[in-house]
A and B are shown apart, each in its own frame.
Chain A
Amino acid sequence: MEQLQIIVVSKGLLGLLRTCVEMAAHSARTCAVETNITVVDNSSEHPYCETDFVDDSLDLIRFDTPQGFAASCNAAAKCSKSTFILLLNNDVLLLPQTLRGMLDSLTEERIGICGAGLLFPDGTIQHAGVVFGAGESGPYHQSRGKIPEQCAMSMRAFQAVTGACMLIRRSVFERLGGLDESYPFGLEDIDFCLRAGQHGVRTVCFTGEYSLHFESMTEGRIELDVPSREIFMRRWGGKHSVDGDLAAL
């Protein structure tokens, strides 16, 4: 049986994390994969302990000083040899069929990454694939803030999807050396997808069922967006196709 490692990087917010982990485990039970969950405690003020969770097979990694998302995920990925890796934010609540739909989306070997349709608590779209605008606009979430029923969704390929809920073939993750740790926090997921695309790896997004994403719940998280964006634009500015807003020439 194939194996799936679910990596959840988290700081504080234990109640939310517990719900996240339980719903992910429930979603995984609908899939024909053996699942293991790795929680990365990214220097929570009150460290998590294994008894905090119902699943006693859950692995817990603790950092005493705050790490970037990339470093946390990369460290966790080394704890497993699973076929697939799911990067999951602690504020994403997976619905029962989501994980199965994502795994089923990896129909071909060259489809190496699958994102998930995610909704804000008010029912509007948080994520349904990432598109890229011209020039300084860079990557942004397609259809964000819209109502799903009003958006035509197709099983198209994207240049990137959000790392808030990203299923990756381990072979792809290892080939690319994991996420790039030079990003403080944010956009390392988009960087990863773009690099994967350059190696012929295809990225898709499963929107057959929308899970829930509260987004940026962790304190201090948003402040790290700016330096991450600077790195991203320095590296990728003008070097991706434009499938969002074109340049106003």
Chain B
Amino acid sequence: MKANNLILQFTSKIIFFIIFFFAVHIFFAGHYTPGGGFVGGLLMASAIVLLVISFDLKTVQTILPINYMYMTATGLIVAVGTAAFPMLLNKPFFTHFFDYFTLPLIGKTSLHTAALFDLGVFLVVVGVTMTIIQTIGEDE
């Protein structure tokens, strides 16, 4: 009962990348304008879900061979690691550091350890959402 989804499949090929980059943008923009790791992660997950809907789980798994459980774990480690690392410098748990740098290509920008923490959030959100969707979807 495979339906002919040509239009959907074609559009989602394009839209996937739009959402993907929008998610990345939202993630990085989060510190100054609306966005952040949580929304970014959800957007990323929704991009993948779009692929899942227009193709199917197996195809998506061959395109993105990611173990989302590992992704979740990595995210947690990154988040907790960022929070714990100041203790090595004898600073309280969860101290953030930031400063302003002039980087090539991008120009003057701020680098903030909060972004690392947010990256952890991002990974966990993508990982968990996709784990849930994958396990429920796979289950026949």
| A is bound by B | no
Seen from chain B, the residues whose Cβ lies within 8 Å of a Cβ on chain A are none
Binding site for B on A (CB under 8 A): none
